[in-house]
Amino acid sequence: MLAAVGSVADDLDGVTLTSHWPLVGKAPRRVLVIGQAVFGWIPSWRAAQLSTSAGMDEVLAETQLACYERADPMDWIVENRVRSSPFWRTVRLTIERLYPGSPSAWYSHVAWANLCPVARNDVKGNPDGTLREVQTRPAAELIDAVARALEPDLILVLAGTFWWPFSERLALTGSLGVQRPLLGLGRRHGRPWIIGMHPGGAQRRGWGADAYADRIIAAVERLGP
């Protein structure tokens, strides 16, 4: 993926980028939650750094180490203001309903990844144009590999329409009909996947975090074990 981004470095001249490596909570059972892209995240670099293998290794190492010095890589959420965002409130409520009475903190049940691991770090928003196009294929391969390696109880994609470029590469079997704010429901490699609107967009359309979490839990029950 970094090589793909490096191949369009001229188009990204002067742009500050960031990159996100999946963070995995410490609880033995977890949900892989996939969002859109990060902004203001820890690594900060320029595409020109990817022109050499040493520069690429440096970017990759910094990306992979982010938050892994913590007791739980996901406990950063406790002290970050985004914990009250529609996205993270929906995730928290979903986890609390999936694992009631768990001795582990809710965030420990979360493995967190993003459809677009590389994004601009200087401008809020998801990547578009060339930056999105060059990483779609390798990003889909990364997500697939992460889902297979972690063997989570559920893969929950809360990325809205950003999912559609990935849908052919991450095709689901046994798909079931859904109602908004959900967009898709099925299985891949035997694991249940739920695709839904981004919680921010869902909230603007009348589905707050509580109602959204209820719809996700109902979908989990439809998918079965």
Task: Encode pLDDT of 3-12 as tens digits.
Answer: 999 999 999 9
pLDDT exceeds cutoff 80 at 198: yes
User: Encoding tokens for residue 121?
Assistant: 């770090």
d(CA 55, CA 53): 5
pLDDT the model gives residue 80: 93
Q: Give start and end residues of each alpha helix (H) in 48-182.
A: 53-65, 86-98, 129-150, 164-167
pLDDT the model gives residue 224: 86
Residue 143 CA neighbour count, 13 Å, CB half = 28
Residue 148: which pLDDT band, with cuts at 50, 70 and 90? very high
Phi, psi of 17 (to 5 degrees): -115, 160
Task: Encode pLDDT of 61-106 as tens digits.
Answer: 999 999 999 999 999 999 999 999 999 999 999 999 999 999 999 9
Task: Encode pLDDT of 184-196 as tens digits.
Answer: 999 999 999 999 9
3-state SS class at 146 = helix
User: Encoding tokens for residue 135?
Assistant: 């990483």
Q: Give start and end residues of each alpha helix (H) in the chain.
A: 2-6, 53-65, 86-98, 129-150, 164-167, 199-204, 209-223
d(CA 225, CA 191): 9
Which residues, in sequence order, are CB contacts of 34 under 8 Å at separation 6+? 112, 113, 114, 115, 143, 155, 156, 157, 158, 159
Q: Residue 126 in contact with residue 37, Cβ under 8 Å?
A: yes
CATH number of 20-41+74-223: 3.40.470.10
Percentage of residues in the chain with pLDDT exceeding 70? Answer: 100
Residue 225: which pLDDT band, with cuts at 50, 70 and 90? confident
Residues in the chain: 225
Task: Encode pLDDT of 33-55 as tens digits.
Answer: 999 999 999 999 999 999 999 99
